[in-house]
A and B are shown apart, each in its own frame.
Chain A
Amino acid sequence: MKSLRKLCLHAVLLLSMSVISLSSWAQSDPTGESPVTRTYALTNATVITKPGTELKETTVIIKDGLIQSVGKNASIPANAQVIDASELYVYAAFIDGMSNTGAKRPENPQRPQNLFTPDPPNFYAGITPENSVVEQLDVESSSIASLREAGFAISNTVPYGRMLPGSSALILLNDADHADDIIMKKDAALFAQWVGAPGAYPGNILGMMAKWRNLYRNAVQDKKHSELYAQNPAGMTRPENDRVSQAFFPVIAQQKPVMFNVDGVLDVRRAMRLRDDLGFPLIVAGVEQSWELADELKATNTPIFLSLDLPDEPKASDDEDKSEEMAAMEERRMEFYKIHVAQAAKLQEAGVNFGFAVGSVRSNSIWKNVQTYIDNGLSTDAALAALTTNPASILGISQVVGTVETGKLANVMVTTAPLFTKDAKVKMMFVDGDKYEYEVKERKKAANGGDNSSATTGDPVTGSWTYALITPQGDQGGKMVISKEGSNYSGYLTSDDGSPDTAMNNISFRDSELAFDFSIDAGGQSVQIVVVGTVTGKTYDATATVSFGGQDISMDLTATKDEQ
């Protein structure tokens, strides 16, 4: 018996040793992918150390994940890989204020049986501030590499969920084996948004505002109670272990900000109203309508991450017989497009130190959209600040990132031409001292990782689509996500306005015709909407029909397949 146990122990030891050695072999690179050295010298470069400061013919030395020196007469370490950067431009890598980069969308919470809609469980109401995006991180996510290729080294990544999904984290956009390798700062902010629970309390903005006040005020009481109890518990009622309440404690102590994902101006104002009522530190992010708030943001010193999602430029109808009224309305629509794209300049003018939030913008649109802000009045220095120094300072990491200066983290972007000029392309990225190179001639193709286009799945409809439903009141958009098991399709529709996800039923695809239906809750009565249309390459043109009161109403639904 004894010997048997001993044998077992040996086996375990052996096994664990082999695991250890296997992983250390992996470190020493059986694949040949690991770099020979992590010391680099970018020689004779044009270095933009920070917005407005440019050094010519300067050498940047990167070692042990840090910027070792920036200067003209740097002594190059013997083990450095020397990169002739005389034709190149060196910038601090960008910092994204808010996106789901690296996070995997969890399955939607199942509606509990016999759900008591006035008081649903927290997981269903989306009140899970105790959670963290760390649990959703997936190092394999392609979003990390694609955002890096757009010049970013850090993302403030936020969890998926409803009104209070959990804490965000600052992640380094590195290839890694484990999430812990890329987490720069956990608990960066408590993330919040105006997404109500489907068919349960709080269902919309009315309930969410009240719920916030209730949660927060109770948390203030609970915190006080816990602190008194910690001092002297005898004779005092024991505080409950309320994880929701406790998640607010660092916020109440002003040690952690609340980051509100708010796009419209009224939604921003609602977050600010809560801040004014309750007194928590606030960051507003993903803001798409900031122009009326510039002075107020400045006066209240509210950090803001402007959305990089811009409206499409409206096109006037080329109908020569169009009415004067139509032409006038087109003109006014254009007036508001101009206001949208000039808002970054407006913030700059008001002296607001804003950053940018990538949000759900595709990484290959980011530069284009920043350029649009520049074309409409934003200075290039202010644009660079919004991508580097400002987010670093808003997120409390300006000591370690945001500029190309000695001692900073080696988060560096190398471009082929000055930023914000036509020929500027990312040639090289350093993230936490790790180097990534990009083939500049062939755009879009990454050096490592390669191009795994959706075509590899072999099915033209599976994957994620961005759809728009054209209703008379304006477009409704979101994602249409389709997957296939065997010969059966399944899928769901998300909604940009925060409405709950909707299951797609009876999905069929034959001879390039894709059809499905979905149901919506109309006051307890289920209304079915049937969508039928044609898939051509990566686009889907369809008609959505709802039968209502003996009448058919048709709307256009178009979708474009997302880059995988």
Chain B
Amino acid sequence: MTMKTKNILLSLLLVLCTSAFAQEAPKGDVLFKGGTVLTITNGALENTDVLVRDGKISRIGKGLRAPNGVETVDITGKFLMPGIIDAHSHIAGSAINEGTSQVTAEVSMEDVVDPYDVSIYRALAGGVTSIHLMHGSANVIGGQNETMKLRWGQTDPDMLRFEGAPRTIKFALGENPTRGARARGIQPQSRMGIEMMLRNSFSEAQEYEKRWKAYNASKDPKKVAPEYDLRMQTLVDILNGEVLVHCHSYRADEIYMLLKVFSDFNIPRLTFQHANEAYKVAPELAAFGATASVFADWWAYKLEVYYSTAYNAAILHENGVLTSINSDSGELIRHLFHEAAKTQKYGNLSDDEALAMITLNPAKQLGIDNRVGSIEVGKDADIAIFDNHPLSIYAVPQMTFVDGVKYFDINNDKADQRIYIDPESSIEEVTLFEKMDYNHRCMEGAAIFFGQNLINHQH
């Protein structure tokens, strides 16, 4: 048997094995040749190659050669950057809010991942490789979020998980949770009530933890286990720093309030989402070590979001607050590189600083910066290729890789990318509701119309 046929047989066998035990996400090998590599942590490297082996960046340098069987992608004249990470997204979820209770720490977005949502592909086409699929903002303590890799085409939801990413949870302050609660005639009806609900919940969790510690320590053969409560257990995990909190917020006073609550309960890590008025309390955020994930220039969609500035991200950054820019939208997610560029117009951030807003900084906020967010040897090969510098208004994403596997290629972009189509669906040119609801799902579930959402809800 010649070497060649042996190789073919071997690779056939490998293919068979992976399809029979489809437990591991696919990983690729590829050599990117001759582009400008935007490392984020080590500036821009011109005319540089990046070698990917088994889904990881294995070498960065000049004149690298492709090992046997590794495909070479010529990116001469193009730009290679780490895949974009969206720290606030609601795409690819079958449900967003369990809004019936104002504390639902026990629920988790990992249970509702929808790998069939074509928004995943659209995000890839914008250079995005990871998202933070968040629970909605209808309740004070919402559900746990899911950090995902956009492995489009995989239909087992577990295959889109960012393996090993820390657990995170959604909190929400201000108008959204009070609006939902008022509609249901339950607490909290005001910002004061929100603070009390947070403090009460954490205090209850401390009591819960005490009960279990006492039970576990007891040597009494007649001991009886305390009632198990997944909600309380999750809050205990937050108190113990095992679950990172991402809190929907707008106003400076509520942001400052939460800092005090977290100080009182010794919870070290906290990211404020939206945080349009965070610039007013930037030094306080920096002192606490809290981080912010904001819009570039989006506000005035409800009363609590009027007092805003496009300099928010830059001010926070200059004050030493780790800041990212997010989309919270199935549309904005496709051009987060434009959003990052706005920090150069409003705040004169450097290229690295601006790009970090959509790569390394969100990675840090999600606790995955040891794996993604920059182009460094040993990191996951989650990579976006652009034809122009991604901070240029002329930039168009060309290819997107996750773990070295290509999931988007502008030159092989078929018109219909859907991976499931309801045979009984009607085919229409225009859909009225999509125009209306504009992909915003923050308050979904708060409005129910046979499972469909009619109202134009807001973040």
Q: Mark B164-205, 1 if CB is under 8 A from A, else 0.
A: 000000000000000110111010000000000000000000
Contact of B111 among A206, A217, A228, A546 (CB under 8 A): A206
Q: Is B418 an interface residue (CB 8 A)?
A: yes
Q: If the complex has contacts A207-B100, A495-B450, A546-B454, are A214 and B108 also in contact, measured as CB distance less than 8 A?
A: no
Do residues A476 and B452 form an inter-chain contact, with CB atoms below 8 A? yes
Instruction: Report whether over half of chain B's contact residues are helix, strand or loop; otherwise say mixed.
Output: loop
Residues of A within 8 A of B434 (CB): 472-473
- Kindly provide the distance from the CB of A268 to the nearest chain B CB, expressed in whole angstroms: 11
A325 in the interface (beta carbon within 8 A) = yes
Is B302 in the interface zone, CB < 8 Å from A? no
Judge if B216 is at the interface, Cβ distance under 8 Å. no
Flag whether B423 is at the interface (Cβ < 8 A).
Answer: yes
Contact indicator per residue, chain A 514-533, by CB within 8 Å of chain B (1) or not (0) = 00000011111101000000
Query: Which residue of chain B has the shortest Cβ distance to A493 in the bound complex?
Result: B450
Check A206–B422 contact: CB distance below 8 A: no
Asked whether B224 lies within 8 Å of A333 as measured between CB atoms, the reply is: no
Q: Please report B residues at the A interface, Cβ cutoff 8 Å.
A: 20, 94-95, 97-104, 106-109, 111-112, 114, 116, 135, 143, 155-157, 179-180, 182-184, 186, 222, 224-225, 227-231, 415-416, 418, 420-434, 443, 445-452, 454-457
B452 touches A471 (CB 8 A): yes
Taking Cβ atoms with an 8 Å cutoff, the residues of A that contact B are 116-119, 197, 199-207, 209-210, 213-214, 217-218, 221, 224-225, 228, 235-237, 265-266, 269-270, 273, 292, 295, 311-314, 317, 325-326, 328-330, 332-337, 340, 469-476, 495, 497, 499, 520-525, 527, 546, 548-549, 553
Q: Which residues of A contact B418 (CB under 8 A)?
A: 332
Q: Are B107 and A210 in contact (CB under 8 A)?
A: yes
* Complex-state Cα separation, A204 to B95, whole angstroms: 8
Contact assessment for B454 and A522 in the assembled complex, using a CB-CB cutoff below 8 Å: yes
Q: Which residues of A lie under 8 Å from residue B104 when comparing CB positions? A: 201, 206-207, 210
CB <8 Å contact, B155 and A499: no
For A337, list chain B residues within 8 Å (CB): 423
User: Which residues on B sit within 8 Å (CB–CB) of A269?
Assistant: 156-157
Which residues on the A side are within 8 Å of B102 (C-beta)? 118
Q: Is the CB of A206 within 8 A of B427?
A: no
Q: Is the interface of A mostly helix, strand, loop or mixed?
A: mixed
Contacts of A326 in B (CB 8 A): 427, 429
Is B186 a contact of A117 with CB atoms below 8 Å? yes
- On whether the beta carbons of B101 and A333 are closer than 8 Å, the reply is no
Q: Report B184 CB to chain A, min CB distance, Å.
A: 5
Contact B184–A499 (Cβ < 8 Å): no
Chosen A-B contacts, 29 in total, with CB atoms closer than 8 Å, are: A117-B100, A117-B184, A201-B100, A202-B98, A204-B95, A206-B95, A206-B98, A206-B104, A206-B107, A207-B104, A209-B107, A209-B108, A214-B231, A221-B227, A221-B228, A225-B225, A237-B224, A269-B157, A292-B155, A332-B421, A333-B423, A336-B421, A340-B423, A499-B451, A523-B443, A523-B447, A524-B182, A525-B455, A549-B456
Bound together, the chains give a CA A214 to CA B443 distance in angstroms of: 25
Sample of 17 further A-B pairs with CB below 8 A, known A205-B95, A225-B225: A197-B100, A199-B184, A203-B99, A206-B111, A207-B107, A214-B230, A325-B415, A332-B416, A470-B426, A471-B452, A473-B433, A497-B451, A499-B450, A523-B446, A523-B447, A548-B454, A548-B455
The chain B residue with its CB closest to the CB of A327 is B427
Q: Report chain A residues within 8 Å CB of B186.
A: 116-118
| The 7 residue pairs across chains A and B that have the minimum distance between CB atoms | A524-B183, A118-B101, A472-B431, A337-B423, A522-B447, A210-B106, A203-B100
Smallest CB–CB gap between A65 and chain B, Å?
Answer: 43
B141 CB, nearest partner CB in chain A, Å = 12
Distance, CA A311 to CA B224, complexed state (A): 52
Q: Pick the contact of B415: A213, A218, A328, A527 (CB < 8 A).
A: A328
User: Complex Cα distance A388/B296, Å?
Assistant: 63
How far is A334 from B422 in the complex, measured between Cα atoms in Å? 9
Q: Is the CB of B451 within 8 A of A476?
A: yes
